[in-house]
Structure 1
Amino acid sequence: MKLNEELSRIAKEYPDKAAFIYHNEETSYREFESQVERFASGLKKLGYQKGDHIALISWNSPLYVVAFYGLLRMGAVIIPVKPILTANEIKYILKDGNVKAVITANEILGSFAEIAEQLLAVNHYIISGTDIPLVDDHLSSKVKLFSQVIEEGSLEFEATYLDEEDTSLILYTSGTTGKPKGTMLSYQNLYVNARSTADYLAFNRYDRVISVLPMVHVFSIGASFCGPLLKGATLLIMDKFSPTEVFHIAKEHQATIFAGVPTMYNYLLQTAKKHPAYQDNFSRIRLCLSGGAAIPLAILNEFESTFHVTITEGYGLSEVAPVAYNPVDCPPKPGSIGKSVPQIECKVVDPAGKEVMTGEVGELIVKGPAVMKGYYQLPEETAKALQDGWLHTGDLVRMDENGYYYIMDRIKDVIIVGGYNVFPREVEEVLNEHPQVVEAAVVGVPHEEKGEVTMGFVAVNGVVTEETLIDFCKKSLAKFKVPDRIEFLDELPKNATGKVIKKDLVAMGMERRGSVEKVV
């Protein structure tokens, strides 16, 4: 609701300013506003109305940006879906989310060939491009071009009344445990996310933001999509992440802000090590934002010294974002996710729900206008997560005397070795300090005597042995925290947002160690 009101205001105030640039083609705020209006009108002419569930399945692109705002304007409930999912994974979300239409990229349409007949509720597939590709008759009869919908719309679209508590978005979790859950966000949730991020991080209309985080991700909505647009900034849209392309765009378009996940920072750093000339391409960057997972301190420190720019860490999740950021008016605390942002109240509690002392570890619970409405059609799951208005995040943190929070680990990821708690992140930080280690992850695997033992997985640059890395860990960690075994991979398995998929590593670890070997 308010996002669209702000877009209309900025389009009147700065009509000729570039809202976004994609493949060197600029779209002004005036053009952007017109396309949004026409697309909303075109959807209404197709028979869609307020409350209809419409899926948006695309890489970052002008289609995504225009469709997202157009759907909000006509009051549809947006269901963003990661385009890298398999056909069966997409089918599950579309069925569970009661989707009536799909907006997608031309090249993705073929994925629906095998599942379209099972999606009887889907009336249209609205695609990018200028031609409808050859697909079977059942599918082709439902296909419309995105450009057609815009052309058939008008600028006299009558705005739909929307309450700020109406559902605007259903974000499906990555499904790291069980089936994905649909996180329902209201118009207020969405606006608070974007506004809090933009205000707290002091975005402005002169900023040029590299928008490479997948727009399906809640971190992107605030940091590199809706948040910057609220301030009249320009998005430099990248459909997919490529370190060399990021450097090219940063230099070519004089980017001022980069938002990424730790994996992206690692790839940028490794690329710049091989090609030192790229270090100058970030010379205009004034702000680097990191979220989605904790960034290893070794990578953070080396990146900052290489590019002479500070990385500001923050924290949020699909259910509420942002929760915390390091303030931009003072140096961030390395390893900290910062302080809670305005309007967000945080507590650190023990398993009984009692607040712990400063410096002690407990679960982070959150309250405020950014907290989700609940999980779609899952009242029991909603009741577990939301208790007396407080969202239980499942993340273990500690808070220092200055109000800065430090993520220790997910509750479910804590490893219990012979009765002692091991936080995987602590072991990962040590492994990442080794000069040959490019990335590292640590998981717990079953053990017949100790319950669990730690197992490390690393990707390395150069030659290093398992024994060397274990000895390296012994210098900094208590014996029960040292990895029982370390496996070498070319690359750690990750989801669409670059987060390591630890359940895959657990399965791999159990298979490789026979799950019950005796520790020497």
Structure 2
Amino acid sequence: MKKLEVFESLIQSAQEHPDQIALIDEMGELSYAQLLNEVNALKQSLVDSGLKMGQSVGLLTENNRHFIIGLYAIIATGAVAMPIFHKQKAQEILQSINEAELTFVLSSHQKMLLPLKLESEALNKVFHLASTVYSDSNLLQPFPEAAFMRFTSGTTGQAKGVVINHRAAIDRIEAANQNLQIGTDTRVLWVFPMAYHFIVSIVLYIHRGATIIINNDFLAEDIISSIQKHQANFFYCAPMHLKLLAAYEGETNIGSLKRVISTTTGASRAICESFQDKYQIDVEQAFGIIEIGLPIINTVDPKAHPDAVGQVLPSYEVKILDEENAEVKSGETGRLAIKGPGMFEGYLKSPRQKNEILADGFFLTGDLASQDEKGTITIRGREKNVIIVHGNKVFPNEVEEVINQFPEIKLSKVFGQPHPLTGEVVVAEITAEEEISQEVLIKHCRQSLSPYKVPQKIIQLEQIEMTASGKIKRV
């Protein structure tokens, strides 16, 4: 019999803290006892509609309580939940459904299903369940204990479906919580799309009986207002939020906030220091990856190394490897490899299982990183994105950090273009509030970068293409 450990953790939280507020959203407050009741009622409706253990269900909801209720109701049946970001275009959603060969799609509103041309039935006043053409398909047969699927962000190519089982989800959140220390007194201000961040976050908070304050307005004024109104003390955010808050000129009293964790992509030293100076709260960067969880957090001295992702957590091991898989010297850049609890089970549609993908138990993340003598890890870029100029390596992140320090720049993307003499040259795309002189920006770069790292070409755009999870999309 399949052990439903993630669902059982909700039952335990509801039994131990029935009156504790589980979440606050635009509809008000919901206690743990009320949350469990809502989940059990939806679970029964799903079973009555024919959902069976081991089938796969897409979850298409707004960023509110409906996501959490739907997520736990699906896995409570023994089925596997695959969250789908509701702000994607219909064609993108259909592509996800087809790629995963989902059996059903559970939605919090019928209008979300209409562009997909899926026939649905109403389960209650909120949820609708639609069947797909894949009723006889079961790509999850090699993964009998699976709880969740999620596609990788696809920043550098085709996204892959990652499969995570119940035990792995619990293992990874308990490993991360040795550092995060989430408990019943934690009041988390939530600003991310739940479809992309739900294991070492939403599931962890529910597991530990915390309160989730869902804020879908990411402007600085709205974030500060939510912190003040609900006395939030834990903020899990992205560099964009830090930058907006650092530039905000209104009231900045957020005395209840005790901890700020920045993830999704690297925050520059300038952004972290601006936030720290304004609010007197250290920014702890963290490295999260869907195949593993949250194995690295900058907790030892984030003020001294604000641009580092930090130190490996006690339950994990990290190696920095060269191209022959030998460990590099301290301070040198190499390929980041991680080993620890809560590893993924494998990739959907992959002929290889987890043990065939791992190298001596280590997962190669695709990131380039360095680790100093004190164990502090800094991400230098992605393997596939390194630019080679006259044999010298250029990491786009390093150049982007310098460009983003220019006052009018909103966002930048750096990449290489082939060149007959140098191999490649550095090119930068930028978005800015006004027209930027190429000569002025290149001069700015020359003050901080070696000559071979300075962009030879700058292209100003109205918008830089991003992935749905908020990362720069790279070729």
Residue number among 83, 87, 97 corresponding to 1:84 in the alignment: 87
Question: Which residue number in structure 1 is paired with residue 173 of structure 2?
Answer: 194
Question: Which residue number in structure 1 is paired with residue 131 of structure 2?
Answer: none
AA matched with 2:60: I
Q: 2:323 aligned with 1:319, yes or no?
A: no
**What CA distance in whole angstroms lies between the structure 2 residues aligned with 1:488 and 1:284?**
40
Question: Which residue number in structure 1 is paired with residue 188 of structure 2?
Answer: 209
Name stretches of at least 5 consecutive residues in structure 2 with no aligned partner: 129-142
Matches within 5 A, 1:263-278: 263-270=240-247, 272=248, 276-278=249-251
Question: Which residue number in structure 1 is paired with residue 205 of structure 2?
Answer: 228
String of CA shifts for 1:358-412, please: whole Å, max 9, x gaps. Answer: 1111101111222211111112596874233221111011111111111000000
TM-score by length of 1: 0.82
String of CA shifts for 1:442-498, please: whole Å, max 9, x gaps. Answer: 111222322211112233346642111101111121111101022223443322222
String of CA shifts for 1:105-142, please: whole Å, max 9, x gaps. Answer: 324223213xx3xxxxxxxxxxxxxxxxxxxxxx2xx2
Question: Which residue number in structure 2 is paired with residue 476 of structure 1?
Answer: 448
The structure carrying a bigger helix percent of its residues is: 1
Question: Which residue number in structure 1 is paired with residue 14 of structure 2?
Answer: 11
Question: Which residue number in structure 1 is paired with residue 229 of structure 2?
Answer: 252
Relative distance call for 1:488 and 1:283 in structure 2 (3 A) is: farther
Relative distance call for 1:146 and 1:323 in structure 2 (3 A) is: farther
1:291 CA displacement: 0.9
Q: Which stretch has the larger CA shift, 408-417 or 38-47?
A: 38-47
Give the aligned length.
457
1:32 CA displacement: 0.6
Matches within 5 A, 1:340-489: 340-379=312-351, 385-461=357-433, 464-489=436-461
**What CA distance in whole angstroms lies between the structure 1 residues aligned with 2:300 and 2:14?**
28
**What CA distance in whole angstroms lies between the structure 1 residues aligned with 2:271 and 2:411?**
9
TM-score by length of 2: 0.90
Name stretches of at least 5 consecutive residues in structure 1 with no aligned partner: 117-138, 151-163, 504-520
Q: Which stretch has the larger CA shift, 180-189 or 190-199?
A: 190-199
Aligned residues of 1:50 and 1:76 also touching (Cα < 8 A): yes
Calculate percent identity across the aligned residue pairs: 28
Q: 2:77 aligned with 1:74, yes or no?
A: yes
1:244 CA displacement: 3.4
Aligned residues of 1:53 and 1:78 also touching (Cα < 8 A): yes
User: Which secondary structure state, in structure 2, belongs to the residue aligned with residue 269 of structure 1?
Assistant: helix
String of CA shifts for 1:157-183, please: whole Å, max 9, x gaps. Answer: xxxxxxx97111111123334432111
Aligned residues of 2:297 and 2:309 also touching (Cα < 8 A): yes
Question: Which residue number in structure 2 is paired with residue 511 of structure 1?
Answer: none
Matches within 5 A, 1:161-200: 166-200=145-179
AA matched with 2:112: I
1:247 CA displacement: 2.5
- Note the aligned Cα RMSD (angstroms): 2.3
Q: 2:58 aligned with 1:55, yes or no?
A: yes
Residue number among 110, 116, 121 corresponding to 1:143 in the alignment: 121
**What CA distance in whole angstroms lies between the structure 2 residues aligned with 1:92 and 1:462?**
37
Aligned residues of 2:291 and 2:344 also touching (Cα < 8 A): yes
Residue number among 261, 266, 290 corresponding to 1:289 in the alignment: 261
User: Which secondary structure state, in structure 2, belongs to the residue aligned with residue 502 of structure 1?
Assistant: coil
